[in-house]
Structure 1
Amino acid sequence: MPDKDPDNCSGLDEPARSYCEGDTGGSGGVGGGGGGGDVTDGAVTSVKELANSLIKHIKEQLAPGKTWAPEKADSGLYEPFLWLGQHLAVAIFICVVVVCALTAWQGAPRLRQMGASTGWALVAVAGMASIPGAVTLLNKAVSTAFQTAFGTDESTLFGVIEHDLKHGADAGNPLGILIIIAALAVALAFSALVFMTRQLGILAFVCMAPLVLASLTRGGDTSAVRAWAGRLLGLMFAPFALLLVAPFVQFAKGSLVVDAVLLVAADALMLRMIFHGVPYIGPRVAGAARALVESRTDHPLARAVVRAGAPTVYERENLPRGPRTVDTPGRAASQDGGVLLGAYGLKPRQQPGRLTTMSAVAQTGHDAARRAQIIQARREAQAAVSPSASNPRATGARTPTPSTNGPVPPPAPASGPGTAPALRPSGPTRPNNP
């Protein structure tokens, strides 16, 4: 077959033009598979590029370089909270100074209280303006560390997947590539859920910072600040939960199918990250993701994964009812508000807790079989004990009473009055001579 004229292919667009200008070797010959091989190789390359793109987006969503929180104190979002926190700190400081002045007759304790309030007021006002910048720098550091840990080291999950896509034993197997692409797509959906909950949580806690720091001006009560900082740091360092999968990736080197299994385990860890890392709404978000998966599929493996990531819990509205209960967002926010009010010197109202209606109904149905077994076991135990538990007075016998001062006296006859022998008056004890 004569070579093709390049002028005949000039009217085509890429990649059709490149295919037209290439030598396909005719049809039915030995070289006839050349064009098909090029198409197959191009498809495999495109699939691998898609997998690498999914991995890149998962990394960016789990630890983004930027947050929705303000970067500076003069941000339009942060400025109203900053103004409120500063004025609140000043108002609390004035109240403390006035109280100390009115009770100055108490001497040194009031002077120490006024000095502590002055120092903590300065610390609070200075810290209010530095929170946005500190959170931004910490988020960048966490993002860089995450990208470095999961990008440059081949001993991590995503590094092993990228290596196996090129040099794995089943890198040319379409089934293995299809499985890993599906697992990456599912992981991308979970990473998007993690991204949304983390970003909204960090934004809320950064905006709360002035109000929390203002509580220090009362005299250095750091309970509210410690609770706030613990939750914020938990949100920011949550992506590193995926490092728990890293020790197992060495077993998966060279197999895309095992990589997919580990990626599914990472999805369960992401659900756990939402469940434990994001306060207030975390359990509900994870529960909603579990309900969505269970409503879409009946596959037992998928259901087991989402149940491992988002276990069945009972919500507690406002006293613990048993293990594995979580607070509703309203109760959790109320308890944190109680900590903040306590830092301001206001006594929070302790609200009794109970299960929500849906959780109580679910718990009743779940514990019905257990409760019936417990009742049956108690009845059997009582029936086994009751025949041997007879009343001694019914047979006219006396139960002997143990005595530490001597031998037990014999029981009185059944027809007698049944009175015990008279005891000797107390006195010094003389030893018996042999």
Structure 2
Amino acid sequence: MPDKDRCGLITGIAKRMCEDDWEPGGGGSSDADDGGDGITAGASDHVKDLAETLIKTLKGLLAPKRAWAPQTTDNWLYQQFLWLGQHLAIAIFNCVVVVCALTAWQGAPRLKQLGASTGWTLVAVAGMASVPGVVMLLNQAVSSAFTTAFDSDQSTLLETISKDLDKGADSGNPVAILIIISALVVALAFASLVFMTRQLGILAFVLIAPLVLASLARGGDTSAVRAWAMRLLGLMFAPFALLLVSPFVQMVKGSLVMDAVLMVAADALMLRMIFHGIPYFGPKIAGAARGFVESRTTNPLARAVVRAGSPDFYEQENQPRMPRTVDTPGRAAYQDRGVLFAAYGVKQKQRSSRPTTESAIDKTQREAPRNQQLVEARRAARAAAAQTSTSGPRTPGPAHGPGPAVRTQAPAAPGPGPAPVRPPTS
């Protein structure tokens, strides 16, 4: 009787393993054929490479080496604004010369004004030609400083994440790696938002530089130039706002999950930086980003992050009345335009100090329950006061019965004192 097939009662991969005499640790079809620790280790390496790529892209978006703004004065787009600014400065200088000639009888004051206008006109024209190069060098310096700060020190967030991917306490945990990858993807989206906002803002401020500097020819009024420079420097140094989370990195060093939490906090900080750092379109962009996230997710953590980065606020057209009230982007642009016009000697009419229509409606809707409770509380207090005054306090009489009525009289008011005696006039 022939022997029964020992592998005839099984099917599938188990039958093939039985027919090939597969043994544990033997030379069968194991996962070690590719020379590593199998498919799992290869997938983990690919995920780590993805995280490193995201970190490099994140650094490149936050502080790019190249800007969209013109780098030299021979740029066609910048030449148009340069031509306009130079001719405007010369026109202002000619007007000053004419005014000084007509009032030359005043002597030294007019000569002093003419000399100041001449010097400031030369400074303005020279500054117009140097703005693109200065902005290019400043952008390269900021990019190099940002890269050095985030690469040379292990206490920075992105460098710590790179270290923890290899030597962290939970670097072998797929869930922790998945969490940090998700946080990096979210940070990449916010970094793209920061990149677009910074590049467009720097481009706009560089193009209007000749018009702002031309105001110096009027007599050296630097208010418009200082306002323009502060806005531009705020845009240039905005990426360093992420360094504010660096003190907390050492507290969570070695944990990818806590690194992801800090990355989420950095995302909120970047959104907050957009909200407060750029006066023209920062609040609009931050609000649009918050609305985009809230309309497409119900995750409470994501909603909390965008609400922390872009909180509810009431836009007001002139001056704030409450801590959560800020200027509208239109009002901020109007104020800066007023500073520029004031440098040219043109006064703008001030807007009335009142919130916008949308902010007033939103404020009324938000405070409706509280106002209703206050109305009800006041109504109840008035009713209680009216009932108490109607009933009045009752004083108990003596035990043996009512006594005779006694008429009391209030004490008379003291009379006026003696009239003061005036000393005789000599």
- TM range, normalised to the smaller chain? 0.7 to 0.9
Offset, 1:320? 3.7
Quote the offset at 1:193 in angstroms.
Answer: 0.4
SS at match of 1:78: helix
| Aligned twin of 1:88 | 88
Structure 1 residues 222 and 299: CA distance shift in structure 2, 3 A: same
Q: Which residue is 2:175 aligned to? A: 175
SS, match of residue 208 in structure 2: helix
TM-score by length of 1: 0.82
1:158 is displaced (CA, Å) by 0.7
Determine the C-alpha separation between the residues in 1 that align with 2:157 and 2:216.
44
Q: Name 1:307's counterpart in structure 2.
A: 307
Contact persistence 2:317–2:351 (CA under 8 A) = no
The number of equivalent residue pairs is 382
For the pair 1:328 / 2:325, whether they are aligned, the reply is no
What one-letter code is carried by the residue in structure 1 that aligns with 2:286? A
d(CA) in 1 for partners of 2:210, 2:320: 32
**Structure 1 residues 65 and 365: CA distance shift in structure 2, 3 A:** same
* Structure 1 pair 426–383 and aligned structure 2 pair: CA distance change class (3 A): farther
Counterpart in the other structure of 1:421: 415
Counterparts in 2 of 1:26 and 1:366: CA distance versus 1, 3 Å: farther
For 1:323 and 1:396, the matched residues in 2 are separated by 58
Give 1:268 shift. 0.4
Question: Which range moved further: 331-340 or 345-354?
Answer: 345-354
Partner of 2:295: 295
* Correspondence 1:139-158 to 2 at 5 A: 139-158=139-158
Higher mean alpha-carbon deviation, 148-157 vs 322-331, is at 322-331
Deviation at 1:27, TM superposition (A): 5.0
Counterpart position of 1:5 = none
Q: Write out per-residue CA displacement over residues 147-185 of structure 1, whole angstroms, 9 at most, x where no aligned residue.
A: 111122211101110000001111111111111111101
Q: Give the match's secondary structure for 1:271.
A: helix
- Equivalent position to 1:30, from 17, 25, 41: 25
Q: Which residue does the alignment assign to 1:411? A: 412
Identify the residue that residue 234 of structure 1 maps to in structure 2.
234
Q: Is the CA contact 2:283–2:329 (under 8 Å) kept in the aligned structure 1? A: no
- Range 376-385 or range 83-92, more displaced: 376-385
For 1:51 and 1:411, the matched residues in 2 are separated by 93
Please say if 1:252 is aligned against 2:252: yes
What is the aligned partner in structure 2 of residue 272 from structure 1?
A: 272
Q: Give me the whole-angstrom Cα distance separating, in 1, the residues matched to 2:408 and 2:93.
A: 81
SS in 1 for 2:249: helix
In structure 2, how many angstroms separate the alpha carbons of the residues matched to 1:42 and 1:138? 42
Determine if contact 2:31/2:39 at 8 Å carries over to the other structure. no
Identity %: 66
| Kept in 2: contact 1:69–1:206 (CA 8 A) | yes
C-alpha RMSD of matched pairs (Å): 2.5
Higher mean displacement: 201-210 or 102-111: 102-111
Change (3 A) 1:423 1:154: closer
- Give the deviation of 1:278 after TM superposition: 1.7
Residue 58 of structure 1, CA deviation: 0.3
- Give the 3-state SS of the residue equivalent to 2:367 in structure 1: helix
Q: Deviations over 1:229-280 (max 9, x none)?
A: 0000000000000001100111221111011001000100110111112221
Distance 2:195 2:409 in 1: 79
Name the aligned partner's letter for residue 34 of structure 1.
Answer: A
Partner residue of 2:66?
Answer: 66
Q: Deviations over 1:327-356 (max 9, x none)?
A: 333322121111100000111111224333
Over residues 285-315 of structure 1, what are the superposed CA-to-partner deviations in whole Å (9 max), with x where a residue is unaligned? Answer: 0111111111111111111111111111122
- Tell me if structure 1 keeps the 8 A contact 2:124–2:217: yes
